[in-house]
Amino acid sequence: MIIGVGNPDRGDDAAGRLAARRLRSLGLDAVVEHSGEGTALLEAWSGAGRVILIDAVVTGAPPGTITVWEARKAPLQRTSFRGSTHAFGVAEAVELARALDRLPASLTIYGIEAQQFQPGAGLSPAVSDAVGQLAERIAQEVARCTNPA
């Protein structure tokens, strides 16, 4: 399952959702768009064995930088996901799922470093480029997993 998180009306916050749309256009199934509200995320990935989640992040890296976290290996830093409008968002959902033993067997989080979150704004150029690059990267990863040579 691939979950693209974000708010399509807040500039770079739309990155996860736009990556999900791009992945669907590349023919991938089990791709959903999600607001990122934490308790709903727990339900969204319930029963899934492997989950890839894509979201805009703020870590201090240059805009468009792609960061990868393996949620089963280490706790998430809540501060990286501070661009969310939700008080209970991705990082909180992951850590609650960890505490309740409800994490998927594999949860890979791809963060795209955001530059701006203004309501009504479009994607910044660096984030737009990263969305396309990440969608291609994930599509290739899924192809390798589903069609091993």
Provide the domain count of the chain.
1
> What CATH number corresponds to the domain at position 59?
3.40.50.1450
Residue 82 lies in domain: 2-146
Lowest model confidence (mean pLDDT) among 6-10, 38-42, 87-91: 87-91
Asked if 56 contacts 15 with a C-beta cutoff of 8 angstroms, the reply is: yes
Q: Per-residue confidence at 75, pLDDT binned at 50, 70, 90?
A: confident
Mean pLDDT of 68-87: 74
Lowest model confidence (mean pLDDT) among 61-65, 104-108, 140-144: 140-144
Q: 105-132, pLDDT tens digit by residue?
A: 999 999 999 999 999 999 999 999 999 9
Q: Per-residue confidence at 69, pLDDT binned at 50, 70, 90?
A: very high
> For residue 62, what is the DSSP state?
P
Residue 79 pLDDT:
65
Strands 2-5 and 31-34: parallel
| pLDDT of 28 above 90 | yes
What is the C-alpha separation between 72 and 53, in angstroms, rounded? 13
